[in-house]
Structure 1
Amino acid sequence: MTSGQVNQSSAVPQQFKLLPKIINGGIAGIIGVSVVFPLDLVKTRLQNQVIGPKGEKMYSSMLDCFKKTYKTEGYFGMYKGSGVNILLITPEKAIKLTANDMFRHYLSTGPGEPLPLVREMLAGGSAGACQIIITTPMELLKIQMQDAGRVAAAAKSEGKTIPKISAWSLTTDLFRKRGILGLYQGTGATALRDVTFSVIYFPLFARLNDLGPKREDGSSVFWCSFLAGCVAGSSAALFVNPFDVIKTRLQAINKAPGEPTYNGVLDCIGKTLKNEGPTAFFKGGACRMIVIAPLFGIAQTVYYLGVAEYLMGLK
C-alpha cells in the first residue's frame, strides 16, 4: 500500500502509517515554499496596500510589484520572511496533509469503500483546523517580514523612517508584551481561511485525482497528482481569497502612514468595504492562485512519491 492511496482515491486504506506521512508532508512543504515564495511576497504586499484618496497606490500590478521590489531590495529581498516560513512549513504541511489522511482513514465507511462527500469535507475541514496552531504564528511573522519593504518605502515618501525588524526580534517583542497570545493575532481569520480552504481543496483534489490513470499498484501517476493539486489548490484559493485579505490585514502589525487599523474580522470587513469597495477582497487573488497552484501541486506530488517510505524501507 503506497502513501498516495489515501488521498489519491476516495477509497481509504486499512492501515495507516503516521511517521512516513509526517516526513513526506514536511519535505513537500519545504520544496513547495522554496519555489513559490517570491510570488507569496508579492501577494502579501498587494493585499496590504491601501488605495489613497486620489486613487494613488504603490503597486499597479503583480508585475509592477515584482519590478519595484527587485529594484529596491534585490533578489534576496524577494525571500524576506522565507526563513521562518521554511522552518515552520514542515510541521504545518505535515499536520495538514497527515491529518487529512488520518481523518479520512477513521471516517471510512469500510475497507475499499468510497468516502462520502460530506465525510471528505469533514476530514478536510478538521485537517485545516489542526494546522492553525502552527499556521497562525508562521503567517504572522512571515507577513511582517514580507511587508517590511512596502511599509518602509511608504514611510520614506512621508519623510519618516521605520526601524528594521527580524523574525526573532519581532517574536521576542510580541512575547514580552502579550505572552504566547501575541503570536496568535488573527487566529479567527486564519481559521476562517484555512478550514474553508481545506473543506474545498481535499475533496476536489481526491475527485480530480481519481479521474487520472493509475499504476499497477493502484496509486496515481505523479503528473496526475501534480495537475490535480494545481487545479484544486487554485480553485480553493480563489474562493477563500476574501478571508485571506482579511487575515493578512489583521496580522499586519506595522502599518504604512495613514493606513487604517482593525478591531477584529467584522471591523476589517466594514472598513475595507467602506474605504475600498468589494473588489478589495480580491486583491492579490490572481497572485494567490498562482502561488497555491504549484505549491499544492508540488506538495501533493512529493507527498505521494513516498520518499519517506523508500528511505524507511517500507516500499
Structure 2
Amino acid sequence: MIMVVTVFLKNTFLQLYRPTSCRNLRQFPQKQFMAPNGTGRNLPARIVNGGIAGLVGVTCTFPLDLVKTRLQNQCRVNGELLYKNTFDCVSKVLRTEGFFGMYRGSGVNLLLIMPEKAIKLAANDTFRHSMSGGKPLTLIQEVTAGAGAGLFQVVVTTPMEMLKIHGQDAGRIAAQHSAMNGHSTMTVQSPSAISVAKNLLRTKGVFGLYRGLSATLMRDIPFSVVYFPLFAHLNALGLISGGSSERSPFVVTLLAGMIAGATAAVSVNPMDVIKTRLQTLTPSSGQSEYNGFLDCVRRIFKEEGVRSFFRGALPRAIVIAPLFGIAQSVYFLGIGERMLGAKQLRPV
C-alpha cells in the first residue's frame, strides 16, 4: 500500500510540474515559471508555516481530542456507559487523572504534528498554486489538490495516531477495569510512545505502526476534499486588495477554518470511529480484536447500531474547528516567509 501511494504521488507530482513542451512556456507569462524576489523559497517557507501552525493548534485543542477518543472507544460496563457525554468525560478525567491527564498521549502528537500539518497545508497550497496558472481554480482542481494533500499526510498521520490513541486510551481502560471490579479508585499506567512503538516493531514490524492505514486514507482524503475547497471559498469572502499579497483578515481566516473544519470533521466521523477502533491495541471489555476494516464496520453496525458511527462527532467537531481555524490563521501569518526571505503569495 505504501509503495503504491508513493508511486502515485511521484507520477502526480511530475504531471503537475512538467511542462508539455518548450513552446508551451511561451503561452504563459514568464513570472509563472520564474521565482522573482525569493519566491523560489516558497515551498520550504510553507513547510515551516505548516509545522508552526500544527504545533500551536494541537497544543490548544489536544484535551478535546482526548475526550473524543475516550467517547469513541468506550463500551457498556455493567449495562452503563463509562462516560455519559462530553462534559461528563471531561469531569471524570479531571477528577481521577488531574489536569495533565487531559494531555495524556500528547508527547508523540506534539512531536509528529509538525511534519503532519506541514505536509498537509504545504502540499495543498503548492498543488493549488501549481494548477492555478494565475486563473481561478475549477472545482475539480480544488478537489484534486485537497485529495493530494490528504494522500500525502497519511505517511505521518497513521503511526502518529496509532501511538497517540494508545496513550489517550490508557485512562479509559483503567476506569473500565475499576468499574468492573467495583473499585472506587484507579491507577492509570500509560506506556510511553517509545515503548509502544518498540513493541509494535518487534511483534509486527514496520507495518504494525500502519495499522488502520486503509481507514486513515478513507478518512483523511475525503476530509481534505471537503475542507480545503470550502475553506478557500469562505476565506476569499474577506480578501483585501493589495497586489499579489492579498490576504483576508486574521478573524476571517480563523472563522473560515473553523467552519470548514467542523463541516469536514462531522462528514467523515464514521471513518474516524472505525480508524480509532482498529488502532486501539486494548479493545473494550468483552470485545475481541477487529479483523480488518470490513470486520470492524460489520461488528459495529451489528452490535452497536448506526448511531455508534457518529459517536464522538460533537467533540471531534469541537476539536477540529479550532485546530484548523488556529492552524490556518497561523499558517497565513507568513512566519516561514519572513524567516527564509521568501515572497508571500496571494492565496488561491
**TM above 0.5:** yes
* Residue 32 in structure 1 maps to residue 54 in structure 2: no
CA distance in 1, matches of 2:312, 2:285: 21
Match of 1:207 among 233, 237, 245: 233
Structure 1 residue runs of 5 or longer lacking an equivalent are: 1-12
Q: CA deviation at 1:179?
A: 1.3
Match of 1:142 among 164, 173, 176: 164
CA distance in 2, matches of 1:289, 1:33: 14
Residues 205 and 229 in structure 1, CA contact (< 8 A), matched pair in contact too: yes
Residues 152 and 256 in structure 1, CA contact (< 8 A), matched pair in contact too: no
* Residue 168 in structure 1 maps to residue 194 in structure 2: yes
Which position in structure 1 is the counterpart of 2:176?
154
- Equivalent position SS for 1:165: coil
CA distance in 1, matches of 2:337, 2:239: 22
CA distance in 2, matches of 1:188, 1:313: 39
Go from structure 1 to structure 2 and tell me whether the alpha carbon gap of 1:211 and 1:163 turns closer, same or farther (over 3 Å shift): closer
Which position in structure 1 is the counterpart of 2:93?
69
Which position in structure 2 is the counterpart of 1:294?
322
* Residue 98 in structure 1 maps to residue 122 in structure 2: yes
Which position in structure 1 is the counterpart of 2:249?
221
Which position in structure 1 is the counterpart of 2:223?
197
Match of 1:235 among 263, 270, 285: 263
Residue deviations 1:96-139, cap 9 Å, x none?
0011112112322x22x100001100110111010000000000
Which position in structure 2 is the counterpart of 1:120?
142
Residues 255 and 325 in structure 2, CA contact (< 8 A), matched pair in contact too: yes
Q: CA deviation at 1:210?
A: 1.0
Query: 1:204-283 counterparts in 2 under 5 A?
Result: 204-217=230-243, 218-283=246-311
- Aligned residue pairs total 300
- Equivalent position SS for 1:131: helix
CA distance in 1, matches of 2:194, 2:339: 34
Matched residue type, 2:318: I
Q: CA deviation at 1:275?
A: 1.0
Residue deviations 1:135-167, cap 9 Å, x none?
000000000000100011112233498854111
Q: CA deviation at 1:259?
A: 2.8
* Residue 20 in structure 1 maps to residue 42 in structure 2: no
Matched residue type, 1:157: A
CA distance in 2, matches of 1:148, 1:138: 16
Q: CA deviation at 1:279?
A: 0.5
- Equivalent position SS for 1:127: helix
Residues 215 and 221 in structure 1, CA contact (< 8 A), matched pair in contact too: no
CA distance in 2, matches of 1:163, 1:35: 25
Q: CA deviation at 1:255?
A: 2.2
Matched residue type, 1:103: F
Which position in structure 2 is the counterpart of 1:41?
66
Matched residue type, 1:208: L
Residues 212 and 220 in structure 1, CA contact (< 8 A), matched pair in contact too: yes
Which position in structure 1 is the counterpart of 2:113?
89
Matched residue type, 1:151: I
CA distance in 1, matches of 2:213, 2:222: 14
CA distance in 1, matches of 2:56, 2:241: 25
Residues 226 and 298 in structure 1, CA contact (< 8 A), matched pair in contact too: yes
Percent identity, aligned pairs only, is 54
Residues 26 and 94 in structure 1, CA contact (< 8 A), matched pair in contact too: yes
Q: CA deviation at 1:304?
A: 0.2
Structure 2 residue runs of 5 or longer lacking an equivalent are: 1-30, 344-348
Matched residue type, 1:262: Y
Matched residue type, 1:101: D
Residues 265 and 320 in structure 2, CA contact (< 8 A), matched pair in contact too: yes
Residue deviations 1:200-228, cap 9 Å, x none?
00000111111124152422211111110
Residue deviations 1:218-248, cap 9 Å, x none?
2221111111000000000000000000000
CA distance in 1, matches of 2:71, 2:284: 13
Residue deviations 1:149-206, cap 9 Å, x none?
0011112233498854111110110011111111100000000000010010000011
Q: CA deviation at 1:79?
A: 0.2
- Equivalent position SS for 1:234: helix
Matched residue type, 2:127: F
Q: CA deviation at 1:252?
A: 0.3
Matched residue type, 2:48: I
Find runs of 4+ consecutive structure 1 residues off by over 2 angstroms.
13-16, 51-54, 105-108, 156-164, 311-315
